Amino acid sequence: MTETTNAPDHILIYVHDPMCSWCYGFRPTWQALKKQLPKTLPVVSLLGGLADDSDVPMAPETAAYLKEVWTRIESVCAVPFNYSYWEQKPLPPRTTYIACRAVIAAERLAGRGEAFAERIQDAYYNEATNVWDVEVLVNLATSFGFRGEAFKSELESADVRAVHDEQRALAERLEVTGYPSLLLIRDEQGYPIAVRHGDADGMLEDIQNLLASPQA
């Protein structure tokens, strides 16, 4: 058994998917919150996954629903979307797992998973890019400073797929039901942190109160 004596007794877990539009909307708040978190609080990112691998074009009603979601997020979170993404024919597939694996690949290769997740978001939501396509992701990675062949090999590896499976399984054990999700793990107990778009200060207060509470 691995020795855990020096493991921290509290961890903040962030569960997300780079192709989750609400995660994109939460990004400014999450960036602001991280700057204010206690230095002694470790932060761990888990890649969830909204939709398994698929090359089947999504149904028109699904596309219409997602466009409405984008409009709502744009209003609530004040982030921009490029709606020309929905003009392509045929419609794109409903698939996000490969983007999650791309983030894991970037983390494993260079410790740049979070930064690459943001690059995927920008390419998807602002540039109307098909970030569910392997070659598109490899091109993004190349422009991001990775060697294309090395990134593609990592992205398509069984190891990266296994890591994603493990992270999704952990999120399920933590009873995560949507993205983005934040949980404070303290003394092996999980405490959900309410996601408040645009209110990093309020979320910080929630976290600080849990850390200070003897009952947490």
**Which pLDDT score is estimated for 5?**
45
Q: Does the pLDDT at position 7 exceed 60?
A: no
Half-sphere exposure (CA, 13 Å, Cβ side) for 44? 13
Q: Does the pLDDT at position 167 exceed 50?
A: yes
Q: What is the pLDDT of residues 140-156, one digit of tens each?
A: 999 999 999 999 999 99
The full set of domains in the chain, from first to last, is 10-53+96-212 (3.40.30.10)
Mean pLDDT, residues 97-110: 98
**Which pLDDT score is estimated for 2?**
34
Q: What is the pLDDT of residues 152-161, one digit of tens each?
A: 999 999 999 9
Q: Does the pLDDT at position 4 exceed 50?
A: no
Q: Does the pLDDT at position 216 exceed 70?
A: no
What average pLDDT does the chain have? 95
Mean pLDDT, residues 57-75: 98
